[in-house]
Chains A and B, each alone.
Chain A
Amino acid sequence: MSDGIERARALTLRYLLASTVIFFAAGVLGLLLRTSQADLGRLHPNFFYAVMTAHGLGAFVGWAGFACMGLSLWVLASVGFPLRRLGSALAGAAFWLMLAGVAGILVTTLLLNFGGSWVFLYPLPFHPAGQWGDATTALFSASVLVVGLSIIAWCGCILHTVLSPALHAVRPTLPNQLGLALGFGYLAPRRFATNPTAVPYAVIPLTVIGIDMIIATLPLAVLLVIMIIESAAPGVTVDPLLAKNILWFFGHPVVYLLLFPAAAVYYLLIPRYAKRPLVAAKVVAIAWAIAVVANVLVWAHHVYLDYPSGTQSGINTAMQPITFALTIPSALSLYSLFMTVYRSRFEWTAASTGLFLGLVGWLLAGLSGVVNATIAFDVVVHNTLWIVGHFHHMALLNIGLAIFGATYAFLPELTGKALYSDRLGKWHIWLTFLFGTAAFALWLVQGLEGAPRRFAVLPERYDTLTQATVPLLIIVALAQLLFAWNIVQTLRGKGGRYTQAQAEPAGAPAA
């Protein structure tokens, strides 16, 4: 086993275990929010919003983002792109920066009462209504900044790993390698020639997000630095609308920090369980070429309602098709992945069931996302529980299931210990999918009824459905205990030893 693969193995395991611990903590916080809304143990309003902030950042970045960052390392190693020394150092730095940032967020929210929400919409952090001080705002901003640095370090790791001899570029210049890693070899095979093997599909979405998250994170980092300065020097301020644009310039692409690595996981593992190469044509490369550009333009649909009049409202009209464009990589990826499964000898394990249901979650959540992207619809669902239903559907039932599936698939490879119980894993996956889908569907309905998001106490007319979601979410939460037990028992070696012969060799079948 090469040093590069061993480095990837150790780091991936570390990322996976740390992010899973954060997942359980963030999940408990999420359950607290919903039981409080349902009047089953009402939290003090500011603590509710502090928990909401911790849950949002913890679950989204500290769990899903962190886990996807780690899984990416093993995906790359599995398709022939092991970590080199610099990449390994960057991944190691990203790990510790993420842990430090998440710890800072938890301290500033749960102990120091920062309740600005995960979007900390400027200038709210400086209008705390007596609930927290400027020093807390500075510490919170610094914590998020550290998370941002973690993401940038990880992007550096990904780009360093993919822009390597493993591309097998005939002309190994940097622009040529970059084009190859973005999949241009499928579009212009002569200009972007490789020998002897083509670039694995899983490399493409990781390269796209490695580039885009650097572009998307740097402006946010500047905003956070200014907020830290403002905490000490109140005369230093930022235009609130500019700040909001900067926030969403990061805030939407960061969704793809989760989704694109998840796509890479699907590209690797679905063919493995289907025992056939990924069914894909050149257009997949076109889709990712669209994504690399549209991804950093897509923030604008979050500010549709900030430009209701004047010439700026015209900008919205241009932003709708750009947002729609990002549907294309999802639509083509889903086609490829479903068709790879179609009439294959698909092996239904806990891992592959998680991945397949994750694809279903991707499809259903993507379709509710099309509603958000359509201005005429967005005016009704914006700022409502519809949005909450949409992104929980995307985060838990697409990306989450991909993470669970990949965990079941990779944990034996990473530890040398066989999975404790595949049956337990299937129970976990199905309970999460079924009851999660039901709960999030109710939020979609509440959103259509006009129920606002981010209310510690909702108007009474929404109480019935709010209370109806609680038992569903409790079952989802209990299902995660099966996941925890399975991981603990696997790590204890209760499933026996894992040998390579028990599974397909690492790496997807060649396209």
Chain B
Amino acid sequence: MLESRVIGQTAIVIAVFYAVVVVLGAAVAIAVWRSTRRRDPDADTELLARREKAWFVITVALLAGLLFATIFFTPYGKSAPSNAQVVQVQGFQFGWLIEPSSIRAGVPVEFQLRSRDANHAFAVYNADDVLLFQVQVVPERTQKYVYTFKKPGTYEVLCFEYCGLDHDLMRATLEATP
């Protein structure tokens, strides 16, 4: 079913990463399960125990590798450039007030997000229903998030933080013009 749907690039990376590690993990589990048929009472458990140190080093190395491979893709901490469009977003039970709701594609947008009541999260999808980004909207704070819409079109906004009765109806749209 996955192939008939559109998912984002990062989601594809996650799917591939997870599929690979699941196959490897399942192979290990099956190998261990099958090994019990051999019933080898002389298996060198001392040696297996000593190899745990090597596994420790491998685990740390794999985690460090993943850390360095991904940490530079963290999409946060960006400052708005001087030409950024500013969009004020106010979340409330159960809707969004977005000013202006029309922006230009290709020009960075700095979203300034506030909440009137509970926690919300501002999640934006493109016309292919691909989740582009999300950011929490916390009461008593102004969150800032910079994003550049590459293509003109209509973008859908959902609330991603559960906020009560009509949370799932808390929707809006953004128009990106050429």
CB distance B168 to A455 under 8 Å? Answer: yes
- Expressed in whole angstroms, the minimum distance between the Cβ of A381 and any Cβ of chain B is 7
Q: How far is the CA of A321 from the CA of B40 in the complex (A)?
A: 40
Q: Contacting B63 at CB < 8 Å: which of A308, A314, A327? A: A327
Q: How many chain-A residues does the 8 Å CB contact rule pick out?
A: 93
- CB distance B167 to A377 under 8 Å? no
0/1 string, B45-75, CB within 8 A of A gives 1: 1001111110110011001001100110111
B97 CB within 8 Å of chain A: no
Given A280-B52, A308-B144, A376-B10, A117 and B162 contact (CB-CB distance below 8 Å):
yes
Which B residues from 96 to 155 make CB contacts under 8 A with A?
117-119, 121, 123, 125, 129-131, 133-136, 138-141, 143-146
Per-residue CB proximity of B17-37 to A under 8 Å, as 1/0? Answer: 110011001101100110110
| Cβ of A499 under 8 Å from chain B | no
Task: Name the interface residues of A300-314: CB closer than 8 Å to any CB of B.
Answer: 303-310, 313-314
CB pair B25 A381 closer than 8 Å: no
Chain A residues within 8 Å of B48, by CB? 279, 339, 342
Chain B residues positioned under 8 Å from A367 (CB to CB): 18, 21-22, 25
Instruction: Please determine whether B167 and A374 come into contact, CB atoms closer than 8 angstroms.
Output: no
Q: Which residue of A lies closest to B10 (CB)?
A: A380
Stretch of A122-130, A261-269, A394-402, A470-478 lying at the B interface: A122-130
Asked if A317 and B43 make an inter-chain contact with CB atoms under 8 angstroms apart, the answer reads no
Task: For chain A, residues 279 to 304, give those with C-beta under 8 angstroms from any C-beta of chain B.
Answer: 279-284, 286-287, 303-304
Q: Is B66's CB under 8 angstroms from A324's CB?
A: yes
Q: What are the interface flags for A327-362 relative to B under an 8 Å C-beta threshold, 1 for contact and 0 otherwise?
A: 110011001101111111110100000001001100
Per-position 1/0 for B86-102, Cβ under 8 A of A: 00000001100000000
* CA A367 to CA B15, docked complex, whole Å: 12
Q: Could you tell me the distance between the alpha carbons of A414 and B119 in the complex, rounded to whole angstroms?
A: 47
CB-CB under 8 A from B129, the residues of chain A are 449-450, 459, 461
Contacts of B52 in A (CB 8 A): 279-281, 283-284, 332, 335-336, 339
Q: A346-B36, A464-B1 are in contact. Are A448 and B59 (CB under 8 A)?
A: no
A283 touches B168 (CB 8 A): no
Contacts of A244 in B (CB 8 A): 119, 138
- On whether the beta carbons of B56 and A306 are closer than 8 Å, the reply is no
Q: A309-B78, A313-B76 are in contact. Are A49 and B143 (CB under 8 A)?
A: no
Report if A444-B18 is in contact (Cβ < 8 Å); known contacts: A240-B139, A313-B76, A379-B75.
Answer: yes
Contact B73 A281 (CB under 8 A): no
Please determine whether B55 and A343 come into contact, CB atoms closer than 8 angstroms.
no
A31 at the interface (CB under 8 A from B): no
Residue of B nearest to A324 (CB): B63
Q: Which of B59, B76, B130, B133 has a CB less than 8 Å from the CB of A307?
A: B76
Residues of chain A from 20 to 78 with CB closer than 8 A to chain B in the complex? 45-46, 49
Chain A residues, Cβ within 8 Å of B139: 123, 240
**Does A415 sit within 8 A of B, measured CB to CB?**
no
Q: Are B163 and A124 in contact (CB under 8 A)?
A: yes
Q: Are B133 and A379 in contact (CB under 8 A)?
A: yes
Query: Is there an interface contact between B67 and A320, defined as CB atoms closer than 8 Å?
Result: yes
Residue of B nearest to A339 (CB): B48
> How distant is the Cα of A30 from the Cα of B79 in the complex, in angstroms?
43
Given A380-B10, A448-B14, decide whether A309 and B119 contact each other with a Cβ distance below 8 A: no
By the criterion CB–CB under 8 Å, are B134 and A305 in contact? Answer: yes
Q: Which residues of A are found within 8 Å of B40, using beta-carbon distances?
A: 343
Please report the C-alpha to C-alpha distance between residue A241 and residue B139 in the assembled complex, in whole angstroms.
8
Instruction: Knowing A124-B119, A127-B93, A450-B129, say if A283 contacts B53 (CB, 8 Å).
Output: yes
Write the nearest CB–CB distance from B169 to chain A, whole angstroms: 8
Contact residue among A49, A359, A445, A457 (Cβ-Cβ distance under 8 Å from B1)? A445
Contact B165 A449 (CB under 8 A): no
A454: CB under 8 A from chain B? yes
Complex interface: chain B residues within 8 A of A445 (CB) = 1-2, 15
Taking the complex as formed, is A93 at the interface, i.e. its CB lies under 8 A from any CB of chain B? no
CB distance from B54 to the nearest CB of A (A): 10
In the complex the two chains form, is B10's CB within 8 Å of A377's CB?
yes
Cα-based distance from A341 to B34 in the complex (angstroms): 10
CB distance from A441 to the nearest CB of B (A): 9
Question: What is the CB-to-nearest-CB distance from A367 to chain B, in angstroms, rounded to a whole number?
Answer: 5
**A124→B32 CA distance, assembly (Å):** 48
Q: Tell me if B135 and A342 are in contact (CB < 8 A).
A: no
When distances are taken between beta carbons in the complex, the residues of chain A under 8 Å from B160 are: 382-384, 452
| A457 touching B14 in the complex, CB below 8 Å, given contacts A316-B76, A328-B60 | no
Residues of B within 8 Å of A335, CB to CB, are: 52, 55
A448-B7 contact, Cβ under 8 Å, with A124-B119, A338-B28, A344-B43? yes
Specify which of A124, A381, A458 is in contact with B118 (CB 8 Å cutoff). Answer: A124
Cβ-based interface call for A252 (8 A): no
- B124 → A minimal CB distance (Å): 10
Contact call B55/A371, Cβ cutoff below 8 A? no
17 pairs across A/B with beta carbons < 8 Å?
Answer: A123-B117, A129-B93, A240-B139, A282-B53, A305-B121, A309-B78, A313-B74, A314-B77, A327-B59, A342-B32, A343-B38, A376-B71, A377-B14, A444-B18, A445-B15, A450-B7, A454-B162
3 closest residue pairs by CB, A with B = A450-B131, A376-B73, A454-B162
Q: Which positions in A face B, CB cutoff 8 Å?
A: 45-46, 49, 115, 117, 121, 123-124, 127-131, 239-241, 244, 276-277, 279-284, 286-287, 303-310, 313-314, 316-317, 320-321, 324, 327-328, 331-332, 335-336, 338-346, 348, 356, 359-360, 363-364, 367-368, 370-371, 374-377, 379-384, 444-445, 448-450, 452-459, 461, 464-465
